[in-house]
Amino acid sequence: MAILKNGYTGVTFNLIKRIYQHKNDTIKGFSKNCKILVFYEIHQL
């Protein structure tokens, strides 16, 4: 997710839920203002 040119790097097991949290302001802190998904990769454990 990003709002500034430097963006924000996060890790999640549920991308859909995490996007919802960002877009609906259900989280607090630095990443609260990050609204645009720029890139994602899927990895297997």
CB 30 within 8 A of CB 8: yes
Q: What is the residue-level pLDDT of the chain in tens, covering all 45 positions?
A: 666 677 778 888 999 998 898 888 887 877 777 778 888 998 887
State the Cα torsion 17-19-24-29 to the nearest 10°: 100
Residue boundaries of the structural domains of the chain: 1-45
Q: Give the pair of three-digit tokens for residue 27.
A: 């989280």
CB 1 within 8 A of CB 34: yes
Q: How is residue 5 annotated by DSSP?
A: T
Amino acid at site 35: K
CB 10 within 8 A of CB 39: no
